[in-house]
Every structure is written in structure tokens, then in C-alpha cells.
């Protein structure tokens, strides 16, 4: 159970809108919590720098975290990236050079303040986790350490756009998110020029999904902002957190393996959230761990942090399958080095698959769950037995069970009947009752079989060798359960389908498992979750969530429908009312990859008294044999008056997808 703390060593003051000047005249807006005597006794600064609106968007989580850390003797600074929230300027893409340069300017500004000791740390999740690693990569003398949660070291291999060279359905999904999120104005209480600034934002705002989709290989666009391009530049300490239920779970292994200095990792059972609030449980005391990290690297305390295990991971145990588990059984393992000497390869021959043809229906994957599961709305992978029934499977009997920690690898020799093809591999825990829990998955666009940077067509009818690494996993398979390898050519809507249905013929191969030995029970006892008090608000309208999978029995089409309505909440501190509704429709016919279609409709609402604004962003993607057809419409209202409408059209060539 999470404990709410109010008894901190330091009393705090808050600055709700600190303006930070950039060299080009743009000012960024920051919210700051700091000890009331910081001007007399300067403290280190801890920066979180993201585009998600500190005034309303991230307020609920900000209030839980930043006052907690500040109460232990830090100035916690939450900055809106330019073009978002209450910051001025325009944002034209994610992780731009401008964004990175601004981050370093902010760090320098904070270090020079009279209330700052000159030492700065940086923390963040997802986008914030990315720019923590990028700031460490780019370097600033005042930046001493970072904490990165749910992030990536390689923007092509492990981001929301491509995976294994496959175009992800969430490339369109994330484009829809940012088209909507960035359409909101600054708060008029902080920005008297809000209306002119808002209209400038709306006129300049890009629809980024097609721009991302055009980069179908690991080119210079994706190398920019990928810290794996030069690990030698990662000289400051990095603490990474990740979750087995998140899709950004390979970063910890990369950082711990390649960081030339001190890179540590903590992996739990969690979704794409901070570990003190994330589901499924157990949650941990992330904020206590953060304070210990900052005490070591920003204050110079000898508290044992530098000698902590390289990797602490929660090894999941077999349990009944659920798409919304409240808690995952497991135990903590602690590895002094990574790769761990306790992990050895266990090889299984796949000769039994020789001659098997893999050609799966286009709707396979509807139970794969979300790329970014956030909570308890059935967003995790459900029972896989239906997906398994459509796949080519091979089961392994392991009577005594097995512990797995690391990445499995599938190596196959196969032929293909088309120049475009995908291969998806899932590793599943099959219980005695036949239910199937996904342990890990991986995917490969076969045009990238030899190179992510230089893809080539699949030679039709010619045998090729491929190697596919599945995502990291930490899992204890119970005695009496079977381990299943499931192979498919489709994975909708996680992977956007190839332009034609394909058949792969297996000619042999092997599966290599990362077998972990030597752990029995908990090797680490994390602190219990604690937070500061939550934000003061009242709900004016309740929210609701819907997740449905249906089939039209006349047309045969399958539909995944997702709706998330936050309701409307009033911030009782400053009176701003905010709310959001999203509805997603993902359609496909089992026999036709070109039937794939998605529509995502977002509404954003802001109001205070007589002031009211609303935006609607509708984003769609359809398939054609040689192109991806993107369309979006952005509409904004001030009160009942339409302030602006824009449309975006883009037919993106299918060079490699």
C-alpha cells in the first residue's frame, strides 16, 4: 500500500511560473518546488523536461513526486518543452536539435540560480526519459546524473515507430496523440498573449505520423537522438527503470552492457508508469530510490548507491492469465554484473518445424495488448490460446520449470513467396488448463534480415537465414507448465501489415533461451511506495473506458474499439478545468492486408469561468499496394466559435513496409 507523506525535512515554497530565457528570445515556463531557505542555503536542482503540460496534463503525478523530492532538500523544476503548455515558441518534431539545445540551456540557467548549488540532475519517464539520456549524451558540466524511466537508447529499434524494421500501428497512434496534445493553448492566467500564441501553434503544428513513416530504415533521422551511436559519450551515472508490461524494456540491458561508467537498472512488473504508482503491483519506493540517487551524485553522500547491484529485476512467476492483473507474483533478483554470469544459453532445436508453412490471418494479434499500457483497462496481453491456434507453434516440456532472464533468440532458415514479409515470434507459458500467457515477443521485417540501415527485398523462393531477438524477459515457468514458441506473419494492430499476404516455409532452426540459475527468493527488498499528497481537485464529470473486439458476421471484418474518457476535473488551486476523450477504431479483414484501416479521434477541453477552448484531432491511415494513405483534420473552437481548421494529406511510399 502506498503511504502519503507530509513530514519532510524541509518546508517548501512554490513558483508556479518561472520564465527561463532561451538565446533566440523564446521563454520556457517552469514550475518550481524548493526549500524555503534555498536562497540562503542553495540546493541541487532536479529537472523534468517534457511537452505534456505541467498546468493540467501531468499535474496529478507532478504533485505526488516533485514536492516529495524537494522536501528532501532539492529544487524540483518541471519545464514545458517549447511550443507546449505555458512555454512560448513552436515544436515541429520530437527530439529535435532545438529541443536538445534548449535542455542544455535550461540546465545552465538552473545551475546559475542563487538558490541552486550548481549541481543539476535530470529525471523523466518516456519522452522525459529519452531527453534525460540525450542530455547525458550531449553533456553539460552542471549535469551530474540522470534517472530515466521507460525510455530507449535506439530510436529505430525500440521506439513507438518501428520495431525489427516493422512499421508499428502506434506510429499513427502517436502521431494522433501529438496532433491533439500540442493543439492546446497556454493558460490565460499565465500568458496574457495566449490567443495569438495558440493560433500560431495551430497554424504551425505538423502531423508527424507520415513524416516518421517515410523513414523506413535506420537512417540519419533515427540515429539523431539515439545514444547508442556513441556510448563513450555517456560519462555520467544513469539509473534506468523499466517494466515488463511496457514496450520500452530493452533499454536497461543496452545501458548496463554498454555504459562506460556507472549504469544501473531496476526492472519491475509495471506498465508505462512511474514505479511508485504503476500496475500491476508490487509498487516500490521509487521516490526514496530517487532521493538516495540524488544524495549520492548531487550532494556527494557516501550512501552505498554506487556499490548497488548493477541490475535488480522482478522475476515474474506463472499465474492465471489476465489482461488487467492487479498484482504479479514474483521475486527480486540482484545481479552484480550484466550480462550476468548466472545466465547461460539453453539451445532447443527447431527441426520439428521443418516443412511447416507460416501464413496467418490478418487479424491475429488483437489480444496482443497496447504498445503503451497505462493502467487497468485490459491493456495487457490476454489469453494467447486463440492467437496460438492461428500460429505455427512448437511446445517444449520442461517438467521442473525454468527461470529466464534476458533475451531469447530465434534463428530460422526459411523461404518466402513474396518480396515483403514479417515474422513475429511469441514465447508463451502454457498452463495445464491450456491457457497461454505471453512471456515475450519479437518481430522482424524480413527486408531487414541483414541490416536495419540497408534493407533489401526478400528473395522469392530462395532460402535465407534470419535471426530474431525477442524482448527482454524475467520469468519463472512453473513446473508442469509448457513453454511455447508461436510464429506468425501477422500481428494486428501492433504491426502494420505487409502489402500482400505471405507464406513462409521453415527449413529448420533453433531457439536459444537465457536460462537463469541460482535464485530462490528475494535478493533485494525495495522500500515501500511513498508519495507526497495528491493534487486538490474535484470531478465535474466522471470518465469511462471501453475496450471491445468484435467481428461483423456479414463482412467478416474484425474491429478493435478503444475509448478512454478522462471526464472533466477542476483544479482547485487555480480553477482550470480540463478533460480529454479519445476513440480508436482499428479495422481489418482476415483475408486482406489492404483492408487495414485506423481512425483515432481526440478531443481536448479547457475552461475557466466564461473562457472555454476545445480542439478535435481526427487521424486516419489506410493501406494501398504501394503507399500508406495518411489523413488528419485539426479543428479548434474558442467558445462556440470555430477558430481554425486544417487538413493534412500524405501518401507515403511503401519502400520497405
**Full DSSP string of 380-415:** S----HHHHHHSEEEEEE-TT-EEEEE--EEEEEEE
Query: What is the distance between the alpha carbons of residues 650 and 530, in angstroms, rounded to a whole number?
Result: 47
Q: What's the distance, Cα to Cα, between the start and end of the chain in Å?
A: 46
What is the model's pLDDT at position 175? 98
- Which of 613, 259, 315, 260 is closest to 473 using CA atoms? 315
CATH class of 343-516: mainly beta
What is the model's pLDDT at position 614? 98
Structure confidence at residue 246 as a pLDDT band (50, 70, 90): very high
Residue 287 burial by CB count (10 A; 0-12/13-18/19+): exposed, middle or buried?
buried
- What are the C-alpha distances in Å from 165 to residues 208, 215, 429, 498? 19, 10, 27, 12
Structural domain spans, the chain = 3-165+216-335, 343-516, 536-653
Structure confidence at residue 250 as a pLDDT band (50, 70, 90): very high
Percent of the chain beyond pLDDT 70? 100
**Beta bridge partner(s), residue 281:** 327
The x, y and z cell numbers of residue 159, run together, are 521506439
**CA count, 13 A, side-chain hemisphere, 269:** 23
Query: What is the distance between the alpha carbons of residues 532 and 69, in angstroms, rounded to a whole number?
Result: 9
The x, y and z cell numbers of residue 64, run together, are 505526488
What is the model's pLDDT at position 490? 98
The x, y and z cell numbers of residue 110, run together, are 538552473
> Distance from CA of residue 598 to its chain's centroid?
20
Does this model's pTM top 0.95? My answer is yes
Query: What is the distance between the alpha carbons of residues 287 and 64, in angstroms, rounded to a whole number?
Result: 9
536-539-540-543 Cα dihedral, nearest 10 degrees: 150
The x, y and z cell numbers of residue 645, run together, are 481548421
How big is the CA angle at 474 (ends 470 and 478), to the nearest 5 degrees? 110
What is the model's pLDDT at position 513? 98
* Contact by Cβ (8 Å): 444, 422: yes
What is the model's pLDDT at position 1? 76
Contacts (Cβ under 8 Å, ≥6 apart) of 40 = none
Is the predicted pLDDT of residue 376 greater than 90, yes or no?
no
Chain segment 64-115, per-residue pLDDT in tens: 999 999 999 999 999 999 999 999 999 999 999 999 999 999 999 999 999 9
**What are the φ/ψ torsions at residue 381 (nearest 5 degrees)?**
-60, 130
- Mean pLDDT, the chain, rounded, equals 97
Query: What is the distance between the alpha carbons of residues 7 and 557, in angstroms, rounded to a whole number?
Result: 57
Query: What is the distance between the alpha carbons of residues 249 and 253, in angstroms, rounded to a whole number?
Result: 8
CATH of domain 3-165+216-335: 3.40.50.1820
Structure confidence at residue 122 as a pLDDT band (50, 70, 90): very high
Q: Is the torsion defined by CA of 152, 155, 160, 163 positive or negative?
A: negative
Query: What is the distance between the alpha carbons of residues 340 and 109, in angstroms, rounded to a whole number?
Result: 41
Chain segment 412-470, per-residue pLDDT in tens: 999 999 999 999 999 999 999 999 999 999 999 999 999 999 999 999 999 999 999 99
* Contact by Cβ (8 Å): 183, 202: yes
Query: What is the distance between the alpha carbons of residues 218 and 362, in angstroms, rounded to a whole number?
Result: 26
Is the predicted pLDDT of residue 546 greater than 80, yes or no?
yes
Is the predicted pLDDT of residue 12 greater than 80, yes or no?
yes
Residues in the chain: 657
Question: β-strands 392-397, 627-638: how paired?
Answer: unpaired
Instruction: Tell me the residue ranges of DSSP E strands in 206-299.
Output: 238-243, 263-268
Chain segment 265-306, per-residue pLDDT in tens: 999 999 999 999 999 999 999 999 999 999 999 999 999 999
Q: What average pLDDT does the segment 559-572 reach?
A: 98
The per-type count for the chain, helices as H runs and strands as E runs, is 10, 33
Query: What is the distance between the alpha carbons of residues 150 and 126, in angstroms, rounded to a whole number?
Result: 5
Percent of the chain beyond pLDDT 90? 99
**What are the φ/ψ torsions at residue 109 (nearest 5 degrees)?**
-60, -45
Query: What is the distance between the alpha carbons of residues 254 and 270, in angstroms, rounded to a whole number?
Result: 19
Q: What average pLDDT does the segment 382-393 reach?
A: 98
Query: What is the distance between the alpha carbons of residues 463 and 94, in angstroms, rounded to a whole number?
Result: 40
* Contact by Cβ (8 Å): 637, 613: yes
How big is the CA angle at 571 (ends 566 and 575), to the nearest 5 degrees? 125
What is the model's pLDDT at position 597? 98
Chain segment 176-204, per-residue pLDDT in tens: 999 999 999 999 999 999 999 999 999 99
Is the predicted pLDDT of residue 120 greater than 90, yes or no?
yes
Q: What average pLDDT does the segment 617-636 reach?
A: 98
Amino acid at each position: 500500500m502506498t503511504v502519503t507523506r507530509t513530514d519532510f525535512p524541509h518546508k517548501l515554497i512554490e513558483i508556479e511560473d518561472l520564465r527561463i530565457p532561451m538565446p533566440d528570445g523564446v521563454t520556457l515556463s517552469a514550475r518550481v518546488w524548493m526549500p524555503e531557505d534555498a536562497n540562503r542555503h542553495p540546493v541541487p536542482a532536479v529537472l523534468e523536461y517534457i511537452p505534456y503540460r505541467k498546468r493540467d496534463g501531468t499535474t496529478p503525478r507532478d504533485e505526488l513526486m516533485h514536492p516529495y523530492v524537494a522536501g528532501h532538500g532539492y529544487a524540483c523544476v518541471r519545464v514545458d518543452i517549447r511550443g507546449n503548455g505555458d512555454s512560448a515558441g513552436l515544436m515541429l518534431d520530437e527530439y529535435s536539435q532545438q529541443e536538445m539545445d534548449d535542455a542544455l540551456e535550461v540546465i545552465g540557467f538552473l545551475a546559475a540560480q542563487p538558490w541552486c548549488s550548481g549541481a543539476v540532475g535530470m529525471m523523466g519517464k518516456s519522452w522525459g526519459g529519452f531527453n534525460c539520456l540525450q542530455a547525458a549524451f550531449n553533456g553539460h558540466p552542471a549535469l551530474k546524473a540522470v534517472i530515466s524511466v521507460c525510455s530507449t537508447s535506439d530510436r529505430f529499434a525500440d521506439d513507438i515507430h518501428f520495431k525489427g524494421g516493422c512499421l508499428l500501428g502506434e506510429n499513427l497512434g502517436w502521431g494522433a496523440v501529438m496532433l491533439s496534445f500540442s493543439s492546446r493553448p497556454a493558460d490565460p492566467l499565465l500568458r496574457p498573449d495566449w490567443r495569438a500564441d495558440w493560433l500560431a501553434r495551430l497554424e504551425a503544428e505538423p502531423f508527424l505520423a507520415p513524416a516518421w513513416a517515410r523513414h523506413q530504415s535506420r537512417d540519419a533521422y533515427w540515429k539523431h537522438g539515439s545514444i547508442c551511436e556513441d556510448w563513450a559519450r555517456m560519462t555520467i551515472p544513469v539509473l534506468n527503470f523499466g517494466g515488463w508490461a511496457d514496450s520500452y524494456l530493452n533499454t536497461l540491458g543496452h545501458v548496463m552492457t554498454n555504459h562506460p561508467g556507472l549504469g544501473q537498472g531496476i526492472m519491475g512488473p509495471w506498465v508505462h508508469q512511474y514505479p511508485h504508482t504503476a500496475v500491476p503491483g508490487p509498487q516500490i519506493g521509487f521516490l526514496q530510490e530517487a532521493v538516495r540517487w540524488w544524495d549520492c551524485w548531487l550532494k556527494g553522500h557516501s550512501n552505498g548507491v554506487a556499490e548497488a547491484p548493477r541490475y535488480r529485476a522482478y522475476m515474474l512467476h506463472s499465474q492465471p492469465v489476465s489482461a488487467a492483473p492487479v498484482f504479479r507474483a514474483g521475486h527480486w533478483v540482484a545481479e552484480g554484473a550484466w550480462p550476468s554470469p548466472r545466465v547461460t544459453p539453453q539451445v532447443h532445436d527447431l527441426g520439428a518445424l521443418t516443412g511447416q508453412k507460416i501464413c496467418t490471418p490478418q487479424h491475429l494479434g488483437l489480444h496482443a495488448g497496447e504498445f503503451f499500457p497505462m493502467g487497468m483497462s485490459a491493456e495487457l496481453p490476454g489469453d494467447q490460446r486463440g492467437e496460438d491456434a492461428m500460429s505455427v507453434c512448437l511446445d517444449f516440456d520442461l517438467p521442473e520449470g525454468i527461470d529466464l532472464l534476458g533475451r531469447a533468440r530465434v534463428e530460422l532458415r526459411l523461404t518466402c513467396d513474396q518480396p515483403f514479409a514479417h515474422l513475429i515470434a511469441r514465447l508463451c507459458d502454457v498452463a495445464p488448463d491450456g491457457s497461454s500467457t505471453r512471456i515475450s515477443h519479437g518481430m522482424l521485417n524480413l527486408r531487414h534480415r541483414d541490416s536495419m540501415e540497408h534493407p533489401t527485398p526478400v528473395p522469392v523462393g530462395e532460402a535465407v537465414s534470419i535471426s530474431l531477438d525477442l524482448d527482454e524477459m524475467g520469468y519463472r515457468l512453473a513446473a508442469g507448465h509448457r513453454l511455447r514458441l508461436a510464429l506468425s506473419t501477422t500481428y494486428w494492430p501492433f504491426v502494420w501489415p505487409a502489402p500482400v499476404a505471405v507464406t513462409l516455409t521453415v527449413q529448420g532452426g533453433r531457439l536459444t533461451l537465457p536460462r537463469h540459475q541460482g535464485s530462490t527468493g528475494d535478493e533485494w527488498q525495495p522500500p515501500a511506495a511513498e508519495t507526497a499528497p495528491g493534487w486538490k481537485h474535484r470531478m465535474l464529470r466522471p470518465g469511462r473506458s471501453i475496450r471491445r473486439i468484435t467481428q461483423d458476421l456479414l463482412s467478416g471484418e474484425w474491429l478493435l474499439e478503444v475509448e478512454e474518457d478522462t471526464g472533466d476535473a477542476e483544479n482547485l488551486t487555480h480553477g482550470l478545468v480540463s478533460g480529454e476523450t479519445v476513440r480508436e477504431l482499428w479495422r481489418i479483414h482476415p483475408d486482406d492486408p489492404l483492408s487495414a484501416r485506423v481512425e483515432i479521434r481526440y478531443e481536448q477541453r479547457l475552461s475557466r469561468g466564461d473562457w472555454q477552448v476545445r480542439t478535435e484531432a481526427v487521424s486516419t491511415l489506410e493501406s494501398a499496394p504501394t503507399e500508406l494513405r495518411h489523413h488528419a483534420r485539426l479543428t479548434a473552437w474558442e467558445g462556440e466559435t470555430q477558430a481554425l481548421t486544417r487538413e493534412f494529406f500524405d501518401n507515403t511510399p511503401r519502400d520497405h513496409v
